[in-house]
Structure formats: structure tokens, C-alpha cells
């Protein structure tokens, strides 16, 4: 069983996720905590749950999803950061993006391990499949746990919306194609955990999402 705990962090109200298996081996998806209070809340939760954090998984590299990466690497020595190589441009562009949005510069000195479409990442006994969904960013991905029926969609698919495509590297046609080809065929009961906002399901988005009307 995949266990999930989420947080809303930074001025963009980004959703950071802790996920773990029955043995308490876990991963962090999109660590976006930025302020000291947010950092304390995050690490206090990890300690309270008794988690053994083994990896950081990034759906994409926009600043609001990576502010907490460096702090995680300091707290959990030796863990790796998994990200699509197509988003290295986005990571490198972070200082400019931060300036444009009048936000602090995130530390981006950390290295990443490349991930690809169809790859399976292990979190203890649980497995997450990498689904490549470019459009919001060139290397945007979703993570799907087939066993539990959970999909971490990053900023590709939201409840009633989709990720913006007007930032550098964004492409509206690609994000629509990604969703219709890669996500619409998933089981309707698949629980979607987005990078902002609230959970939804694939069936709900097929019926109600004004941008898509999937399938």
C-alpha cells in the first residue's frame, strides 16, 4: 500500500508529497518548502512518521517545485534526485525565472539522475512508473503507482484545469497531446494528485475539465 501525505508550500501553494511503503521507506515528490517554518513542518512530519527517505522525485524543475531540494539533500545524505533530462534547461533557467517572479533564487547546484518514459522507480516495495508528459515544461513527467491507483501529475493536469504553457519551454499543443495520449486511457478511478489545488480523478476530468473534455 502506498501511503501519501501532502503539504501546501511557498507563495504558489505548491503541493509537496511524502510517499512511503509499509516498511517506512519513502520518497519526496517536488519538495517546494521555502520558508523556515515550512521546512520545520516538513522535517517534523518526516521524523514523526519515522520515514526512511531514499529519493527525491521531480515532476518538473520550476522553482516552486524545487526550493526544498537542497535542504532534503542535507538532511538525507546520499539520496538521489530523479528528473527528466529534458528539464535541465528549466533548472538552469531558475535564477532568471526567480527574478521575473521576484522570488528568492533556489539552490540548483545539485545533480540529477535522468529518468525516462516507462521507467519504474522503486520506493521500498512500491513501484512508480514514469510517464513522460511534456507541455508545461519540456521534461514534465507524472508518476503512477499502478498498485494503489494514484497518479502524481505535477503541473500537467489539475482539477478542472491544466498547467500553464506560456513560460519558457511550455507548449500548449504538447500538453494537450500528453494528457490525451498518456493520461486519458488510465482507469477512470485513478486518483490524481496535482502540483497545485486539490485531488481529482481521471473520470472527473474526462467529464468536467473545460480545457480537455478528454475522450
Using alpha carbons, select from 40, 18, 36 the residue that is nearest to residue 27: 18
Angle at 29 between CA 23 and CA 30, to 5 degrees: 155
Provide the strand spans (E) within the chain.
3-9, 14-20, 25-29, 52-57, 80-83, 113-114, 120-123, 126-132, 141-145, 150-154, 157-158, 161-162, 191-194, 200-201
| Torsion angle in degrees (nearest 10) through CA of 124, 188, 199, 143 | 40
What confidence tens digit (pLDDT) does each residue in 22-54 have? 999 999 999 999 999 999 999 999 999 999 999
Q: Give yes or no for residue 212 having a pLDDT over 90.
A: no
What confidence tens digit (pLDDT) does each residue in 162-180 have? 999 999 999 999 999 999 9
What confidence tens digit (pLDDT) does each residue in 48-95 have? 999 999 999 999 999 999 999 999 999 999 999 999 999 999 999 999
What confidence tens digit (pLDDT) does each residue in 119-150 have? 999 999 999 999 999 999 999 999 999 889 99
pTM over 0.85: yes
What confidence tens digit (pLDDT) does each residue in 90-120 have? 999 999 999 999 999 999 999 999 999 999 9
Q: Give yes or no for residue 214 having a pLDDT over 90.
A: no
- Kindly list the strands in the beta sheet with 191-194, ordered across the sheet, starting from the edge strand earlier in the chain: 120-123, 126-132, 141-145, 150-154, 191-194, 200-201
Q: Give yes or no for residue 12 having a pLDDT over 80.
A: yes
Domains and CATH numbers, the chain: 3-208 (3.60.15.10)
- Could you tell me the pLDDT band of residue 215, with boundaries at 50, 70 and 90? very low
Amino acid at each position: 500500500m502506498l501511503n501519501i501525505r501532502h503539504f501546501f508550500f511557498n507563495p504558489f501553494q505548491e503541493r509537496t508529497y511524502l510517499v512511503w511503503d509499509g516498511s517506512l521507506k519513502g520518497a519526496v515528490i517536488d519538495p517546494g518548502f521555502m520558508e523556515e517554518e515550512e521546512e520545520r513542518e516538513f522535517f517534523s512530519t518526516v521524523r514523526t512518521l519515522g520515514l526512511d527517505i531514499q529519493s527525491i522525485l521531480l515532476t518538473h524543475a520550476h522553482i516552486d517545485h524545487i526550493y526544498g531540494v537542497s535542504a532534503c539533500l542535507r538532511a538525507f545524505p546520499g539520496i538521489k534526485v530523479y528528473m527528466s533530462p529534458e528539464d535541465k534547461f528549466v533548472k538552469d533557467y531558475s535564477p532568471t525565472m526567480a527574478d521575473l517572479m521576484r522570488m528568492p533564487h533556489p539552490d540548483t547546484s545539485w545533480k540529477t539522475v535522468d529518468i525516462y518514459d516507462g521507467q519504474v522507480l522503486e520506493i521500498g516495495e512500491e513501484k512508480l512508473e514514469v510517464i513522460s508528459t511534456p507541455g508545461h515544461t519540456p521534461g514534465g513527467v507524472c508518476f503512477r503507482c499502478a498498485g494503489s491507483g494514484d497518479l502524481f501529475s505535477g503541473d500537467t493536469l489539475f482539477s478542472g484545469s491544466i498547467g500553464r504553457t506560456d513560460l519558457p519551454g511550455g507548449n500548449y499543443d504538447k500538453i494537450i497531446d500528453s494528457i490525451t495520449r498518456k493520461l486519458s486511457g488510465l482507469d477512470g478511478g485513478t486518483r490524481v494528485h496535482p502540483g497545485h489545488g486539490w485531488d481529482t480523478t481521471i473520470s472527473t476530468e474526462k467529464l468536467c475539465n473545460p480545457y480537455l473534455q478528454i475522450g
